[in-house]
Amino acid sequence: MTGEVGKKSIVRDFWNRNVNQLNQLRRDDIGTPEFFAAAESLRFKYHYHLPPLFDRMSQEYPGGRLIEVGCSMGNDTVQLARRGLAVTGVDLTQSAVDLIRQRFAEQKLAGEFHVADAEQLPLDDELFDVAYSFGVLHHTPDTGRAVSEIHRVLKVGGKAYVMLYHKRSLNWLLHRLTGVPFDGSRRDPCPVEKIYTRDDARALFHKFENVQVTIDYLCGTGWGVFGKMIPTSLHRWLGRRIGWHLMIEGTKMASSS
């Protein structure tokens, strides 16, 4: 199998084997309330910059319709639903969608979930007030096409919040020096991993207006003792200067095409 279809299949197979956080958690009670609680605790122990973003999203679009592209098992999706947003999640893998559906049912939260390709969303135009995608679009072969799909399904006046990996970061340098892949392992590396500068990100979001690109988050769980040695205050300060996450926001305006 060759070409884009073949590459997408390889990406799908990788994420079916590596649903986000399963390898980090190393638990055998997958799908239980205790498992989901542990996943949530781990997520926000390190991703401290996300809850304030979720608060802002829900305040800017109270009760709005939100699509998360690449929802995985739903750590972020649950947070957004609890804040009153009407969530729809899509993920490339059936394994992730099965987990998030189970999670929402157990917690009695409303949500709609689909197995879908970010580059070809099976959804009508202008359905959503908010689009959110965190650490996903740099793993699809045609990232520009995925960004265009987000633009398409947003309503006029709707806003995209997307995270992509940042090239000019300490984390990128550490990975380059050690040869460790950004996701997966040396034995099973993620088949598509891209990195971007701020200018690259602005180019990807050329259809959007009022595009803002900031950086945050120094490094995560993969660096073990090194990451734990850095005080949170220093981690945050460095993250805003040489961080790993490009945090991109852009609004769909009527004049966009």
Domain boundaries of the chain, sorted by first residue: 3-251
Q: Where are the beta strands (DSSP E) in 98-197?
A: 112-115, 128-134, 154-165
Q: Look up the pTM and report it.
A: 0.93
DSSP 13-63: HHHHHS-TTHHHH--S-TTSHHHHHHHHHHHHHH-TTHHHHHHHHHHHSTT
Output phi, psi for 115, to 5 deg. Answer: -80, 120
Q: Residue with structure tokens 């399963």?
A: 22
* CATH 3.40.50.150 is the classification of domain 3-251: yes
Tens of each residue's pLDDT in the chain, 257 residues: 456 667 889 999 999 887 766 666 777 888 899 999 998 988 888 888 999 999 999 999 999 999 999 999 999 999 999 999 999 999 999 999 999 999 999 999 999 999 999 999 999 999 999 999 999 999 999 999 999 999 999 999 999 999 999 999 999 998 899 888 888 888 889 999 999 999 999 999 999 999 999 999 998 666 666 666 788 888 889 999 999 999 999 999 986 44
Q: Residue with structure tokens 């309330």?
A: 33
Strands 245-251 and 154-165: antiparallel
CB proximity list for 129: less than 8 A, separation 6 or greater: 61, 64, 65, 66, 154, 155, 157, 158, 159
